[in-house]
Amino acid sequence: MAKYEVKFSCGHTQIIELFGKDKDRQRKIEYFEEHGLCKNCYKAMMQEIEAHTPLGLTAQLNPLETYPFRAYFTGDTESVEDKVETLGFFWTDIGDSDILSTSEFMGWSCECKSSEELGKVFKEVKKVFPEIEIKFDFTEIDMALYKRLQEAQNDGKKQAAELQKKIDELEKPQRPDCYPEGNWNGRFYKAEKGYRRIYVNNKELLITEEDGQAIERFDKQVENYKLQVAAIKGDENAVKQLEKTAKIKELKEPEKPDCYPKGRWNERFYKAEKGYRRIYVDGKELLISEEDGQAIDDYLTALSEYEKAVENIKKECQ
Q: Using a CB cutoff of 8 Å and minimum separation of 24, what contacts does 249-253 make?
A: 251/306, 251/309, 251/310, 251/313, 252/306, 253/303, 253/306
Give the nearest distance from C-beta 44 to Zn ion in angstroms.
Answer: 8
- Residue 100 is a binding residue for Zn ion (CB under 5 A): no
User: Which of 41/303 has CB closer to Zn ion?
Assistant: 41
Is there a contact between 36 and 65 (Cβ–Cβ < 8 Å)?
no
- Residue 16 is a binding residue for Zn ion (CB under 5 A): no
Give the nearest distance from C-beta 8 to Zn ion in angstroms.
Answer: 6
- The residues, any chain, with a CB within 8 Å of residue 170's CB and separated by 6 or more, are 225, 228, 229
Give the nearest distance from C-beta 102 to Zn ion in angstroms.
Answer: 22
| Dist CA 37 CA 35 (whole Å) | 7
Q: Which of 16, 41, 229, 313 binds Zn ion (CB under 5 A)?
A: 41
The stretch near Zn ion (CB under 5 A) out of 41-49, 75-83, 113-121, 149-157 is 41-49
User: Which of 42/299 has CB closer to Zn ion?
Assistant: 42
The stretch near Zn ion (CB under 5 A) out of 2-10, 16-24, 193-201, 265-273 is 2-10
Q: Which of 28, 32, 36, 38 binds Zn ion (CB under 5 A)?
A: 38
| Dist CA 163 CA 144 (whole Å) | 14
| Dist CA 49 CA 127 (whole Å) | 26
User: Which of 12/220 has CB closer to Zn ion?
Assistant: 12
Q: Which of 4, 9, 10, 313 binds Zn ion (CB under 5 A)?
A: 10
Give the nearest distance from C-beta 13 to Zn ion in angstroms.
Answer: 9
DSSP reduced 3-state for 46:
helix
Count, residues near Zn ion per rule CB under 5 A: 4
User: Which of 30/210 has CB closer to Zn ion?
Assistant: 30
Is there a contact between 97 and 139 (Cβ–Cβ < 8 Å)?
no
Q: Using a CB cutoff of 8 Å and minimum separation of 24, what contacts does 258-261 make?
A: 259/288, 259/292, 259/295, 259/296, 260/296, 260/299, 261/286, 261/288, 261/296
User: Which of 41/310 has CB closer to Zn ion?
Assistant: 41
- The residues, any chain, with a CB within 8 Å of residue 49's CB and separated by 6 or more, are none
DSSP reduced 3-state for 134:
strand
Give the nearest distance from C-beta 182 to Zn ion in angstroms.
Answer: 17
Q: Is 313 exposed, middle or buried (0-12, 13-18, 19+ CB in 10 A)?
A: middle
Give the nearest distance from C-beta 105 to Zn ion in angstroms.
Answer: 21
User: Which of 16/41 has CB closer to Zn ion?
Assistant: 41
Which residue type does 3 have?
A: K
Give the nearest distance from C-beta 45 to Zn ion in angstroms.
Answer: 9
- Residue 272 is a binding residue for Zn ion (CB under 5 A): no
Give the nearest distance from C-beta 179 to Zn ion in angstroms.
Answer: 25
- Residue 87 is a binding residue for Zn ion (CB under 5 A): no
The stretch near Zn ion (CB under 5 A) out of 11-19, 170-178, 201-209, 290-298 is 11-19
CA distances from 81 to 30, 87, 89, 201, 317 (A): 41, 10, 10, 28, 51
Applying CB under 5 A, the residues found at the interface with Zn ion are: 10, 12, 38, 41
